[in-house]
Amino acid sequence: MDPWTVGIVVVIAVGVVVIVLGALSDRRKNRRAAREMLSPPDRPIPRFAPETPAPHYLSELQARRRPGGARTTELSAADRDELARRLRDPDTVSLPAGMVSPDFITDRTAGWAVLDRPYVLVCAEPITTVRELITPLEKVLPTGRPVVVVAPGLAGDVRSTLEVNAIQQTMSVLAVEAAGDVLTRIAGLVDTTPIPRADLQSSWVGLDRLGGCDRWVSTATTSYLLDRPDVA
């Protein structure tokens, strides 16, 4: 075989090897990147003891799926009919402020979000970062009670975070947008005052700053404050 032919064969062989190695390297990099996205961060997690199990990280697709074995939040047919009757009652307190997303629905048959004995966090200004909600939500979580977050607006990532918590049932939460006189009226009805952003950012918010009611029901356009049937 001529030397130049041997040279061409060698060059082709080396080129094929380089291409194969490059493809394998890219595959390893892609797998490593995927593992890093879905695994806990390689750093201490604030306020978590070293022996605490690391949190499980979900992809966006996984986070938007209700977990297997999730507890049902659907009302019975009798409870739904009774609640519908009460919502039609002209004496029922109704407010022109609905839930910001269908992900907060608890009774899909009727399309309602129904929360019993919730804390109500009324924010004076739009919520721009999740950090503003961390302190009040951390205070509510150990109580096992639901929480309604009422604000003039919610940034996209804030809304998504609350939606995922509702879907995954990590806490019972509902987000409602209200402003102006409606916001002021809600604060009065739940016996609280709107909390300014500066207080939320400085973590000066305890449970005593939150309002409450016996039962909160929201549709896409309206929210209602009611007494539960089992309360005298």
Encode pLDDT of 132-142 as tens digits: 999 999 999 99
Tens-digit pLDDT profile for residues 152-207: 999 999 999 999 999 988 899 999 999 999 999 999 999 999 999 999 988 789 99
CA torsion 29-30-34-37 (nearest 10°) is 60
CA 135, CA 150: separation in Å to the nearest integer?
15
Is the distance from CB of 107 to CB of 114 less than 8 angstroms?
yes
Note the pTM of the prediction, 2 decimals.
Answer: 0.72
> How is the chain split among helix, strand and coil, in percent rounded to 5?
45, 15, 40
- Per-residue pLDDT for 9 more than 60? no
Which pLDDT score, from 0 to 100, does residue 46 have? 53
Residue written as token pair 């300014």: 196
Is residue 231 very low, low, confident or very high in pLDDT (cuts 50, 70, 90)? very low
CATH class in words for 77-226: alpha beta
